[in-house]
């Protein structure tokens, strides 16, 4: 394994065109790094709204061979860029490149670097991993014939019920049609409004109550590059959108990100309908993998063909801030993971969150929902 010889630090938006091309080349040379969340375009988007966003560039013999996007606060605490939003994290590098993690942190001015969706290949970070988790994916390939034929061939167990519900939706509301790459920003705002309501209804943190996340999603919607394209997909019944999804794709990987639907039509299972339609359309569009992200959901079990492994943990170097941060953050993560890993705990927790969400939504309107300019 080759070691780095120099590290330079850059703001994402100030990366030169040669550095972006070198980053894209590193993505292209390994399937581990083909995920759009690992593209410079995602780091640049986050950097527009997060002042502490930086990119460490590893050089070997004067050539840029590795890229670590991260965020740093005033105390030297670092985290993977977009932590809490990104479903894939890594130091993207050319094959054979290695690094000393403590030397890397020192160059970045970090005492600790937190991650929660680190790709499994990252060997220098392994000693700092506190847990690994399944990340379901679906292998895609173009189907023969139209969507119903693809569905029967690919997911025979889901085809009959799904197609029946589509036909009933069409009779009840109007012809069902699917748009894989919708360019109407008004539908994106509808999706964010649905998702915001879903978060509050289920007692989750409303990501779209944060203006910077709304602005980031709107920015990424307009990015149309080879290694990162923002894709808004919509299921319509008549002229009415009933389900929508926004997520990025690279040349070969489609990342499932934000899905929501009009709860008035929940009977028709529009969320599952959306993911099946997306998988078929993305396969026709040249995508070979749909990454559904870490976390247990019933629809992921139905759609996945296999699982990747992602890691969470804290890379540290000797420093009082690193010790304090781990003492604070690690028990919180451990408690959350214990609840998520045990259905007997997870189900009561979900019920409690939904009850809290119901109480919240029965009160005054949320002051900063997407409709008022506020994942």
The correct CATH number of 6-134+309-341 out of 3.40.630, 3.30.160, 1.10.10, 1.10.3470 is: 3.40.630
Q: Report the pLDDT value the prediction gives residue 344, as an integer from 0 to 100.
A: 54
Residue 4 — very low, low, confident or very high, per pLDDT cuts 50/70/90?
low
The DSSP symbol for 250 reads -
Q: Give the least confident one: 124-133, 243-252, 364-373.
A: 364-373
Q: How far is residue 348's CA from residue 337's CA, in Å, rounded to a whole number?
A: 15
Question: How does the average pLDDT of the chain come out, rounded?
Answer: 88
Q: Report the pLDDT value the prediction gives residue 328, as an integer from 0 to 100.
A: 56
Q: Give the least confident one: 87-91, 353-357, 362-366.
A: 362-366
Is residue 273 within 8 Å of residue 164, measured between CB atoms? no
The fraction of the chain above a pLDDT of 70, given in percent, is: 84
The mean pLDDT of 217-229, rounded to a whole number, is 98
Secondary structure class of 319 (helix, strand, coil): coil
Residue 124 in this model has a pLDDT that exceeds 90: yes
Q: Give the least confident one: 55-64, 146-155, 337-346.
A: 337-346
Residue 53 in this model has a pLDDT that exceeds 90: yes
The mean pLDDT of 108-128, rounded to a whole number, is 95
Tokens of 328: 């604070």
Q: Is the pTM of this model over 0.95?
A: no
Residue 318 — very low, low, confident or very high, per pLDDT cuts 50/70/90?
confident
Residue 319 in this model has a pLDDT that exceeds 50: yes
Is residue 200 within 8 Å of residue 360, measured between CB atoms? yes
Residue 70 in this model has a pLDDT that exceeds 60: yes
Residue 232 in this model has a pLDDT that exceeds 80: yes
Q: Pick from 90, 79, 84, 75: which is nearest to 36 by CA?
A: 90
Q: Report the pLDDT value the prediction gives residue 320, as an integer from 0 to 100.
A: 59
Helix, strand, coil percent values for the chain (each to nearest 5)? 45, 25, 30
Q: How far is residue 314's CA from residue 317's CA, in Å, rounded to a whole number?
A: 10
Which tens digit of pLDDT belongs to each residue from 243-270? 999 999 999 999 999 999 999 999 999 9
Q: Report the pLDDT value the prediction gives residue 324, as an integer from 0 to 100.
A: 56
**Cα angle at 256 between 252 and 261, to 5 degrees?**
140
The mean pLDDT of 123-132, rounded to a whole number, is 95
Q: Pick from 204, 208, 205, 207: which is nearest to 354 by CA?
A: 204
- Strands (E) across 180-305 are located at 229-237, 240-249, 253-255, 258-261, 289-291
Using CA atoms in the order 46, 47, 51, 53, what is the torsion angle rounded to 10 degrees? 90
Number of H helices, E strands in the chain: 11, 16
Which tens digit of pLDDT belongs to each residue from 161-199? 999 999 999 999 999 999 999 999 999 999 999 999 999
Q: Report the pLDDT value the prediction gives residue 347, as an integer from 0 to 100.
A: 54
What is the CATH number that goes with domain 141-287? 3.40.630.30
Burial 203-215 (b: 16+ CB within 10 A, else e): beebbbbeeebbe
Which tens digit of pLDDT belongs to each residue from 297-311? 999 999 999 999 999
CATH 3.40.630.30 residue spans of the chain: 141-287
Q: Report the pLDDT value the prediction gives residue 42, as an integer from 0 to 100.
A: 98
The mean pLDDT of 34-51, rounded to a whole number, is 98
The fraction of the chain above a pLDDT of 90, given in percent, is: 81
Q: Report the pLDDT value the prediction gives residue 369, as an integer from 0 to 100.
A: 32
CB < 8 Å & 24+ apart, contacts of 103-109: 103/7, 104/7, 104/56, 104/58, 104/68, 105/78, 105/315, 105/316, 105/317, 106/317, 107/7, 107/9, 107/56, 108/7, 108/9, 108/54, 108/56, 108/68, 108/70, 108/72, 108/78, 109/9, 109/72, 109/76
Residue 182 has φ and ψ, to the nearest 5°, of -80, 135
Q: How far is residue 47's CA from residue 45's CA, in Å, rounded to a whole number?
A: 5
Q: Report the pLDDT value the prediction gives residue 267, as an integer from 0 to 100.
A: 96
């Amino acid at each position: 394994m080759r070691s780095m010889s120099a590290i330079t630090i850059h703001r994402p938006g100030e990366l030169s065109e040669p550095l972006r091309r070198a980053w894209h080349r590193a993505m292209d040379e390994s399937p581990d790094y083909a995920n759009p969340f690992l593209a410079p375009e995602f780091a640049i988007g986050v950097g527009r709204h997060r002042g502490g966003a930086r990119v460490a560039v590893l050089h070997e013999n004067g050539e840029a061979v590795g890229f670590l996007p991260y965020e740093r606060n005033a105390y030297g605490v670092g985290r993977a860029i977009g932590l809490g939003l990104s479903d894939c994290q890594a130091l993207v590098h050319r094959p054979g490149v290695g690094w000393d993690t403590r030397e890397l942190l020192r160059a970045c001015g970090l005492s600790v670097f937190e991650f929660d969706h680190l790709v499994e290949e990252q060997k220098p970070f392994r000693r700092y991993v506190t847990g690994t988790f399944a990340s379901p994916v679906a292998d895609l390939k173009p189907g023969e014939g139209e969507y119903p034929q693809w569905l029967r061939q690919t997911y025979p167990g889901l085809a009959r019920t799904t197609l029946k519900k589509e036909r009933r939706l069409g009779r009840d509301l109007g012809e069902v049609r699917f748009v894989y790459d919708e360019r109407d920003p008004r539908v994106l705002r509808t999706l964010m409004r649905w998702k915001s309501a879903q978060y509050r209804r289920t007692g989750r943190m409303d990501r779209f109550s944060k203006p910077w996340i709304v602005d980031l999603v709107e920015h990424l919607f307009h990015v149309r590059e080879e290694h990162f394209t923002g894709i808004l997909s919509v299921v319509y019944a008549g002229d009415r959108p009933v389900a929508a999804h926004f997520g990025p794709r690279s040349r070969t990987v489609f990342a499932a990100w934000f899905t929501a639907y009009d709860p008035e039509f929940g009977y028709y299972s529009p969320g599952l309908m959306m993911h099946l339609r997306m998988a078929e359309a993305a396969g026709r569009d040249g995508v070979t993998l749909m990454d559904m992200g870490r976390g247990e959901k019933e629809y992921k079990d139905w759609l996945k063909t296999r699982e990747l492994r992602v890691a969470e943990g804290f890379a540290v170097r000797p420093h009082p801030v690193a010790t304090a941060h781990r003492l604070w953050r690690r028990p919180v993560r451990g408690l959350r993971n214990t609840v998520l890993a045990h259905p007997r705990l997870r189900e009561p927790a979900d019920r409690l969150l939904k009850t809290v969400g119901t109480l919240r939504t029965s009160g005054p309107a949320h002051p900063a929902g997407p409709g008022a300019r506020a994942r």
